[in-house]
Amino acid sequence: MDYLITGATGFIGRHLVPKLLAAGNEVNYLARRRSASLDSRAAFHLWNPGEPPPLDSVPTVDIVMNLAGEPVAQRWTQPVKRRIYESRVDATRRLVSAIERLRHKPSVLISASATGYYGDRSDEIITETSARGHDFLAGLCAQWEQEALRAKEFGLRVVLLRIAPVLGRDGGMLAKILPVFRSGLGGRLAGGKQWMPWIHIEDLINILLFSAETPNVEGPLNATSPQPVTNAAFTHALGRALHRPALFSVPQFALRLAFGELARYMTASQRVIPEAALAAGFRFKYPDLAGALRNLLE
Ligand SMILES: NC(=O)c1ccc[n+]([C@@H]2O[C@H](COP(=O)([O-])OP(=O)(O)OC[C@H]3O[C@@H](n4cnc5c(N)ncnc54)[C@H](OP(=O)(O)O)[C@@H]3O)[C@@H](O)[C@H]2O)c1
């Protein structure tokens, strides 16, 4: 199969590309610059996301995976929020419009979204049919998904992956908090009662491949382990896996001082389950947190 990927140079893309190449696929990626760390068999195509992507220069593609976006885990100034929005909503609009103009269209578009779609939901169990939230991230995800869904109008199967925070050694949330926990200074955030969805990087890559290969999968798919945990349970499990105490508790006001508006999203409660993926037959290799952390940390 011929794949076209945006965001291939990021944390998720760096795990995805080797898997696709090893399975004998052709990989093309659209990026702002060539990545020295990606396998040179992956073909680079320069894309300034403020302009239409140059799909004329890309050979015939079967499957598009759309993973690009300005990092969300940073202090949100107005320019940062604008980049977070434009690099997802506007860039996806340009990508889909360019696909529409192709004579030989791909059959599938798998587009990233996030569990942030659901907002802050206390103890409610959230599936793909749950309503969206009403904050900045929820609105962003909803508009990002709407832009991707337009590809359905001209015949593509569109999968919207609502991705939970991804656990991996070399990126995402875990890599950021590990130094604090390793030094014994880890702890709960704002009381720790809030639910945290999460997914092991290997399961996420497998959901991406499963979405590409399974013809009846379409629409929103929660890419999250079937066992969300509270932040207190996550803190305990991580301290245990590292053989370090994790007794601290960081109050909301301190988070707000350090992270500004983002703090509210760091403590949002989202008890999300992957109902659609399980119903479609996807099996998680790392359904429970202790097993996932053992694999990643030992
Ligand atoms: N990792 C997670 O825990 C997680 C959770 C939920 C959702 N997601 C979503 O999944 C997607 C991939 O995540 P990731 O962790 O792999 O992201 P990442 O490591 O931050 O990389 C994403 C890619 O986006 C491109 N990018 C960054 N800033 C950009 C900008 N201002 N304009 C245009 N492109 C930009 C970069 O590609 P180039 O520099 O090559 O152009 C980068 O390689 C993202 O959309 C993210 O929001 C991730």
Q: What is the pLDDT along the chain (298 residues), one digit of tens a residue?
A: 999 999 999 999 999 999 999 999 999 999 999 999 999 999 999 999 999 999 988 989 999 999 999 999 999 999 999 999 999 999 999 999 999 999 999 999 999 999 999 999 999 999 999 999 999 999 999 999 999 999 999 999 999 999 999 999 999 999 989 988 998 888 999 889 999 999 999 999 999 999 999 999 999 999 999 999 999 999 999 999 999 988 888 888 888 888 888 888 889 999 999 999 999 999 999 999 999 999 999 8
Asked if residue 223 has its Cβ within 6 Å of ligand 1, the reply is no
CA-to-CA dists, residue 240 to 165, 187, 245, 256, angstroms: 20, 12, 7, 27
Two tokens, residue 296 = 């990643």
Two tokens, residue 150 = 């337009």
Two tokens, residue 217 = 């999968």
Domain of residue 66, residue span = 2-168+198-226+272-286
Please report the atom of ligand 1 found closest to the CA of residue 35.
Answer: 40
Q: Report which of 221, 196, 224 is spatially closest to residue 111, judged by C-alpha positions.
A: 221
Nearest CA to ligand 1 atom 45: 69
CA angle 90, 50, 172 (to 5 degrees): 70
Two tokens, residue 228 = 């969300």
Residue 46 lies in a domain: yes
Instruction: Name the helix (H) or strand (E) containing 223.
Output: strand 219-223
Please report the atom of ligand 1 found closest to the CA of residue 84.
Answer: 31
Please report the atom of ligand 1 found closest to the CA of residue 9.
Answer: 43
Question: Phi and psi of 268, rounded to 5°?
Answer: -70, 145
For residue 3, how far is its CA from the centre of ligand 1 (angstroms)?
18
CATH number for the domain spanning 148: value is 3.40.50.720
Q: How many CA atoms lie within 13 A of 133 on its CB side?
A: 23
Give the distance from CA 63 to its chain's centroid.
Answer: 18
Residue 202 lies in a domain: yes
For residue 248, how far is its CA from the centre of ligand 1 (angstroms)?
31
Residue in 5, 12, 27, 225 to alter for ligand 1 test, most ligand atoms within 8 A of Cβ: 12
Residue 258 lies in a domain: no
Interaxial angle between packed helices 201-213 and 11-22, expressed in degrees from 0 to 180 and rounded to the nearest 10: 50
The pLDDT value given to residue 167: 97
CA distance from start to end of the chain: 35
Asked if residue 133 has its Cβ within 6 Å of ligand 1, the reply is no
Residue 247 lies in a domain: no
Residue 204 lies in a domain: yes
Please report the atom of ligand 1 found closest to the CA of residue 47.
Answer: 41
Residue 257 lies in a domain: no
Q: What is the pTM of this model?
A: 0.97
Residue 152 lies in a domain: yes
Q: Please state the domain count of the chain.
A: 1
Asked if residue 172 has its Cβ within 6 Å of ligand 1, the reply is yes
Residue in 34, 160, 166, 222 to alter for ligand 1 test, most ligand atoms within 8 A of Cβ: 166
Residue 222 lies in a domain: yes
The pLDDT value given to residue 197: 97
